[in-house]
Amino acid sequence: MTKKSETKAPALIAWHVREAKGGKSYWTRIGAAWPHQNGDGHTLQLDLYPLDGRIVLLPPKADEAAEGGAA
């Protein structure tokens, strides 16, 4: 049987970081991660999957945490 859980704000926000010419970086929010109930690991939900650059996981800022929900 599946346990029903309430929606919680994500523990981490997933960002795609792409380096451009001149040392400028472009950051795009692409998803979020929630911790497993047992504390071992996270579930990562990506709204898109980048072909280049890198993915950075950071804790949400106060204003992002207030929004809650998915990315």
Residue 11 has pLDDT above 60, yes or no: yes
> CA 22, 24, 28, 31 torsion: positive or negative?
positive
What does the pLDDT average to over 18-41?
95
Q: What is the pLDDT of residue 1?
A: 45
Residue 70 has pLDDT above 60, yes or no: no
In this prediction the pTM is 0.77
